[in-house]
Amino acid sequence: MIPVTLQLRNFLSYGEDVPPLDFNEFDVACLSGSNGHGKSAILDAMTWALWGEARKAAGEKSPSDGLLRIGTPEMQVELVFDLEGDRYRVIRNYHRKTRRIRLDFHVFDENSHTYKSLSERTIGDTQKKITATLRMEYDTFINSAFILQGRVDEFTKKTPHKRKEILAEILDLSHYERLADLAKDRYKSANARQQGIEEQCKTIEEELQHQPEYAQKLAQVQQRLVEIDADVQTHETRRRTLEQQQADLRGKQAQFQDRTRQKKTLQEEASKLEEKTLRQQKQIAKVQELLAQESQILHAYQRYLDLQQQQERCEQQFRELSTCHKEQNELEKAIQQARTQIEKEQSAWQAKQAQEQQTLQEAQHVLQQAQAIEQGFHELQQARKQDEAWEETRSTVDALEREQRTLEKVVDQQKNQLSVELQSAMRYAAELQSLADKQPVREQEVQDCQAQVLRLESLEQERERNKEIGTECRARQDQLQAEQMRLQEQLQEAEEKLDLLLRSDTPQCPLCASDLAGQKKVDIEAHFRQEIQQIQAKGQELTRTIAEQASHLDRLRSQYAQLERQIKQLQPARERLLQAQNAFQESVNASEQLRARQPQIASLQARIEQNDYARAEHQRLAELQQKLLALAYNVKTHKALKQRLKTLQKFEGEYSRLETVRERQRHSLAALPAIEQELARLQALLDQRDYAPSEHKQLQDVLVRIAAIGYDEREHQRIQQEFRQLQHAPIHKAELEQAGKSLEVLQQGLSELRMEYEHKTASLADMDRQIAALEEELQGFAALEDELQQATTQLIALKRERDELLQARGTYENKHEHCQRLRVEWEQKQAEIQRTRKDCDIYGHLVQVFGKDGIQAYLIENAVPEIEDEANKILGRLTDNRTHITIESVKNLHSGGVKETLDIKISDELGTRSYEMYSGGEAFRVDFAIRIALSKLLAKRAGTKLKTLVIDEGFGTQDAYGLEQLVEAIKTISSDFEKILVITHLEALKNAFPVRIEVEKYPDIGSQYQIVH
């Protein structure tokens, strides 16, 4: 991913109308600016555009709300980037109100020169597409090439397990993970299939074990079927014969039953005739007896007729008497009713009388308090008049007070406003004062810094001087050494000449061939020796000078090193001076402003103290006060009056009751005499029975008629009794008359009956004979029926057994055939088990191969030395080869065996220590080296997906020397990346790179950037 352009709107400190940042203008650049001016925001914008991820507050799920510039409704980031020869564009947009993200992903089409959309239907799917195109998650990105602020140790601080995951993603091992998962799935389904088939085979084998048993059972059933068929035949023949015999006997039996029925009928008829004859004889005897009592029956009948006449007379008298009694009753009732009516009237008048008397009594009670009530009622009316007057005053007072309150509110508001102004002015003044107070201290600081800077400058000059002297010194040293060489050559030459001279036997000069006889040779020899001595002396002199020079140079060097150290220590003084000067200026400005603000504060204080505000309102308030005093409304008095009104209120009702009572008393006194008169009249009526006169008269008449009827109740009862005793006399008389006529007819009938009876007796004897003959023939019938029953039962049992056998034969035949089919199936399944077993083997193996311990571990294993080498190369450069790291991808366990890990060990000249034991600056160098190594690995592997390196701050931990080395290190790796962006606020660093993007934040328009070459 190489960024091409980035455009932000309302993102963090960036506002509207920020021009796009063009990454084409540089390969290596430094992004500089003061703290909080929006440097890191540019990186946040890139990661937010690509993954929707960036810095966020703890506890926030999505960073978008926090990234949106405060006070703006909507933000947008557009990032154009190149990836593997294609150009892409991502536009991400967020709305605060709807909390909705819009995401567009495009690819540039070379032919049409337009962007073509790659967006999917949902944001989630579009995001997946972007991540897939980048082939990287946010986490991996910020663990390698994007070194975010404060997160340089992101990788180092992770657990070994997490580190491995990141490395796996950098190496794109997820591809193998997917293959492993696929193999696992296949293995599982093959295994499940195999188990299923084995299970089926087991079931089949169990069934096949029963096959011989089924065959044996089948043969037994067949054998028994043959036998049973013969038995059934025999039994059926026998049963048919018996059935024939049974039919014959059934005919005879029917005849027998018929004859028996006929005999019974004859017997019944004969006994009926016998009965009839007896009855006839009895009737004849009865008639004869009746005829013997003739005179008694006739006498009784006469007496019966007499009694009947007497009884009718008595009943006539009784009916008349009943009518009279009824009349008497009714009349007596009417008389009683008339009396009751008068008594009712009497009690009504008595009640009226009591009521009036009660009223008079009550009235008496009320009238006793009449005077007090009248007095109270008078007072009530007086108090009401007073209250009306007070009410009027109060409504006026209320209106005035309302106005007063409104005015007071206005006055208060204005006063508050003035107080707020005063407070804020004083707060500001206090802030200014505290700044102004610091002025002397800050001035001192400026002076101190200036002194330090002066010292720094003099040291730097001294260092320059030292350098110049050193250079001169080295030049001189070179000269002296050249001189020494030359002397060496001269000495060598002189010695060779002397040597030649001494070795020569001829009297001739070996060099110039001149004659060297005698003394001349001696002279020459002496001359050479002298020359050698001189050269040697010169040489010694020179060696001493060179030694002196060398020690001088050493002194200069150590001086230089010391100066260098001192300068390094004093280096920050310049920056400090700048800051101190700014601070001092701030204090100076503050005291000026403070002076300017004093009069305003004084004026505000005066106005508040003298109430110099809301003048019209104050005046009107005074007037209102006057008016209220004049009205002299007294709440207490008014309240007391109200209270009194409340107590007097009851007299209102009591007075009206008094009036009513007086009226009632008058009324009762008038009514009472009339009531008493009426009561006396009614009592007289009752005493003299002076009521219902016609009823009294009729009652007298009825009593006279009753006496005249002369009804004797005893006589009537006696007649009734005797008449009842003779009630059968008319029947007896009728029977007697009938008996005389019927005697002859009865005797004739009797002889006819006797003849008929004899005829029946003869028929019966014949029937008996026939029945006896049939009985003899039917004697064997019961035995035959039993035999037939038996034969039928046996036959049914046989047939049932045969049916069962047939069914069993079918079952066993089926089972046998089923077993044969199962055998074939079993063989097929065995072959299938072989096949699935092979599949399981293959897929199981593949799971291992593609898994974490297989090819993935192998790839990590191979990548580790590469990271290690690369990191150590950079670390060597940063620490003068003092520090190096080792990465262990497997660890030997105490329990034996090994554990996959990714441990980072750091060592320096003192030995190996854990990461936490290194200083901030040392740790940063290690982090930096590992991160660069990872980024390079990422750039190389996984299809060269990454070509940008970004380092956001962190250099603050480094001293000046460390910084120089870091810059050097960054420069040397610059050829490995297409773009490098170093973010820093350090002045010392920002000039170390060829291109600088300067970021500055303005209060109104927000952050802005500018590229400086």
Residue numbers of the site for ligand ADP (CB under 6 A)?
12-13, 33, 35-41, 66, 68-70
Residues in the chain: 1013
DSSP category for residue 159: -
Q: How far apart are CA 353 and CA 360, in angstroms?
A: 11
Q: How far is the CB of 956 from ligand ADP (least distance, A)?
A: 12
- SS3 assignment for 870-922: HHHHHHHHHHCCCCEEEEEEEEECCCCCEEEEEEEEEEECCEEECHHHCCHHH
Q: Nearer to ligand ADP by C-beta: 40 or 872?
A: 40
Q: Nearer to ligand ADP by C-beta: 152 or 287?
A: 152
Give residue 67's identity as a one-letter amino acid code. L
Determine, following the binding rule CB under 5 A, whether residue 32 of this chain makes contact with Mg ion.
no
Q: Nearer to Mg ion by C-beta: 39 or 945?
A: 39
For Mg ion, the binding residue among 10, 13, 32, 40 (CB under 5 A) is: 40
Q: Nearer to Mg ion by C-beta: 584 or 928?
A: 928
Q: How far is the CB of 44 from ligand ADP (least distance, A)?
A: 7
The entry of ligand ADP, Mg ion, none that residue 135 binds, CB within 5 to 8 Å by partner kind: none
Map the footprint of Mg ion across residues 797-856, applying CB under 5 A.
none
Q: How far apart are CA 32 and CA 685, in angstroms?
A: 139
Q: Please name the residues in contact with 654: beta carbons below 8 A apart, sequence gap of 6 or more.
A: 373, 376, 377
Q: Nearer to ligand ADP by C-beta: 740 or 956?
A: 956
Q: Which residue has the tokens 């870091």?
A: 966
The entry of Mg ion, ligand ADP, none that residue 52 binds, CB within 5 to 8 Å by partner kind: none
Q: Nearer to Mg ion by C-beta: 133 or 1007?
A: 1007
The entry of ligand ADP, Mg ion, none that residue 143 binds, CB within 5 to 8 Å by partner kind: none
Q: Which one, of 46, 49, 44, lies nearest residue 127 by Cα?
A: 49
Q: How far is the CB of 1001 from Mg ion (least distance, A)?
A: 12
Type and span of the H or E element at 281: helix 211-292
Map the footprint of Mg ion across residues 557-616, applying CB under 5 A.
none
The entry of Mg ion, ligand ADP, none that residue 836 binds, CB within 5 to 8 Å by partner kind: none
Q: How far is the CB of 66 from Mg ion (least distance, A)?
A: 15
Instruction: Return the CA Rg of the chain.
Output: 75
Q: How far is the CB of 39 from Mg ion (least distance, A)?
A: 5
- Phi/psi region, residue 36 (left: phi>0; alpha: psi -120 to 50; beta: rest), is left
Q: How far apart are CA 726 and CA 303, in angstroms?
A: 8
Q: How far is the CB of 400 from ligand ADP (least distance, A)?
A: 55
Chain CA centroid to CA 900, Å? 40
Note whether 109 and 52 are within 8 A (CB). Answer: no
Q: Which one, of 964, 728, 969, lies nearest residue 871 by Cα?
A: 969
Q: How far is the CB of 147 from ligand ADP (least distance, A)?
A: 13
Q: Give me the residues paired with residue 949 across strands.
A: 980
Two tokens, residue 721: 């009794």
The torsion angles phi and psi of 514, rounded to 5 degrees, stand at -80, 165
- Among the residue ranges 40-48, 212-220, 249-257, 774-782, the one whose residues contact Mg ion (CB under 5 A): 40-48
The entry of Mg ion, ligand ADP, none that residue 567 binds, CB within 5 to 8 Å by partner kind: none
The entry of ligand ADP, Mg ion, none that residue 36 binds, CB within 5 to 8 Å by partner kind: ligand ADP
The entry of ligand ADP, Mg ion, none that residue 49 binds, CB within 5 to 8 Å by partner kind: none
Q: How far apart are CA 961 and CA 957, in angstroms?
A: 11
- Phi/psi region, residue 995 (left: phi>0; alpha: psi -120 to 50; beta: rest), is beta
Q: Nearer to Mg ion by C-beta: 40 or 143?
A: 40
Q: Nearer to ligand ADP by C-beta: 62 or 452?
A: 62
Two tokens, residue 357: 């008397």
Q: How far is the CB of 985 from Mg ion (least distance, A)?
A: 8
Q: How many residues interact with Mg ion (rule CB under 5 A)?
A: 3
The entry of ligand ADP, Mg ion, none that residue 70 binds, CB within 5 to 8 Å by partner kind: ligand ADP
Q: How far is the CB of 139 from ligand ADP (least distance, A)?
A: 20
Chain CA centroid to CA 940, Å? 47
Q: How far is the CB of 40 from ligand ADP (least distance, A)?
A: 3
Q: Nearer to ligand ADP by C-beta: 38 or 470?
A: 38
Interhelix angle 960-973/855-879, rounded to 10 degrees, is 130
Q: How far apart are CA 27 and CA 948, in angstroms?
A: 9
The entry of ligand ADP, Mg ion, none that residue 164 binds, CB within 5 to 8 Å by partner kind: none
The entry of Mg ion, ligand ADP, none that residue 967 binds, CB within 5 to 8 Å by partner kind: none
If one counts every other C-beta atom within 10 angstroms of the C-beta of residue 166, the result is: 21
- Among the residue ranges 32-40, 860-868, 955-963, 995-1003, the one whose residues contact Mg ion (CB under 5 A): 32-40
Q: How far is the CB of 925 from Mg ion (least distance, A)?
A: 20
- SS3 assignment for 27-44: CEEEEECCCCCCCHHHHH
The entry of Mg ion, ligand ADP, none that residue 12 binds, CB within 5 to 8 Å by partner kind: ligand ADP
The entry of Mg ion, ligand ADP, none that residue 89 binds, CB within 5 to 8 Å by partner kind: none
Question: Rounded to the nearest 5 degrees, what angle is found at the Cα of 166, between the Cα atoms of 165 and 172?
Answer: 90
Type and span of the H or E element at 1009: strand 1006-1012
Q: Looking at 688-728, list the stretches that DSSP marks H as alpha helix, in order from N- to C-terminal side.
A: 693-709, 713-725
For Mg ion, the binding residue among 72, 149, 174, 536 (CB under 5 A) is: 149
Q: Nearer to ligand ADP by C-beta: 43 or 456?
A: 43
Q: How far is the CB of 18 from ligand ADP (least distance, A)?
A: 13
Q: How far is the CB of 2 from ligand ADP (least distance, A)?
A: 22
Note whether 900 and 853 are within 8 A (CB). Answer: yes
Q: Nearer to Mg ion by C-beta: 732 or 1001?
A: 1001
Q: How far is the CB of 947 from Mg ion (least distance, A)?
A: 23
Q: Nearer to ligand ADP by C-beta: 41 or 373?
A: 41
Q: Give me the residues paired with residue 102 across strands.
A: 93
Q: How far is the CB of 432 from ligand ADP (least distance, A)?
A: 25
Longest C-alpha distance within the chain, in Å?
A: 250
Q: Nearer to ligand ADP by C-beta: 66 or 730?
A: 66
The entry of ligand ADP, Mg ion, none that residue 33 binds, CB within 5 to 8 Å by partner kind: ligand ADP
Q: Nearer to ligand ADP by C-beta: 42 or 594?
A: 42
Q: How far is the CB of 48 from ligand ADP (least distance, A)?
A: 12
Q: Nearer to ligand ADP by C-beta: 37 or 463?
A: 37
The torsion angles phi and psi of 61, rounded to 5 degrees, stand at -85, -45
Q: Nearer to ligand ADP by C-beta: 12 or 80?
A: 12
Question: Rounded to the nearest 5 degrees, what angle is found at the Cα of 395, between the Cα atoms of 393 and 398?
Answer: 110
- The number of C-alpha atoms within 13 Å of 532 and in the hemisphere containing its C-beta is 14
- Among the residue ranges 148-156, 175-183, 305-313, 560-568, the one whose residues contact Mg ion (CB under 5 A): 148-156
- Phi/psi region, residue 1006 (left: phi>0; alpha: psi -120 to 50; beta: rest), is left
For the chain, the distance separating the N- and C-terminal CA atoms, rounded to the nearest angstrom, is: 24
DSSP-derived 3-state class of residue 85: coil
Q: Nearer to Mg ion by C-beta: 153 or 978?
A: 153
Q: Which one, of 531, 528, 530, lies nearest residue 504 by Cα?
A: 528
How many helices (H) and strands (E) the chain has is answered by: 23, 15
Q: How far is the CB of 31 from ligand ADP (least distance, A)?
A: 8
Residues that bind Mg ion (CB under 5 A): 39-40, 149
